Amino acid sequence: MILETKISWGYADLIKTFFEANELVVTCEERTGHNIDQINLHIEDNSDTAMSLTLMGYRHLGIENMLCDYLIRCGIPAGKISIGRTEIKRDMAELEKQWDEHRKTIGLR
């Protein structure tokens, strides 16, 4: 069975940790499309894992909802779950320096 989620591939490590901690045999695979890589979950049909996930999903109003709740508890902002990891803080002085160097190479003063 394959479950297509709206969870970004950037959080695959956290999702894999969740499955390992709950002793579930689930394979995460990257799905590309619409400029955002998301996660497909591969679960063996009629297995203990499928039954466990079904029960866990029932309690949490869906398997994807359960995984999103887990990510939120890990400190991931809810708005970033489907689009990727949280933003990276950049050093503006370093960016300005790089821009100055690039500007000189293209002939601007």
pLDDT at 88: 55
pLDDT at 94: 86
pLDDT at 19: 93
**Beta strands per DSSP E along the chain:** 2-8, 26-31, 38-43
Instruction: Write the CA distances from 9 to 14, 37, 45, 50, integer angstroms.
Output: 10, 5, 23, 22
pLDDT in tens, 34-84: 667 888 999 999 899 999 999 998 998 999 999 999 999 998 888 888 887
pTM for the structure as a whole: 0.70
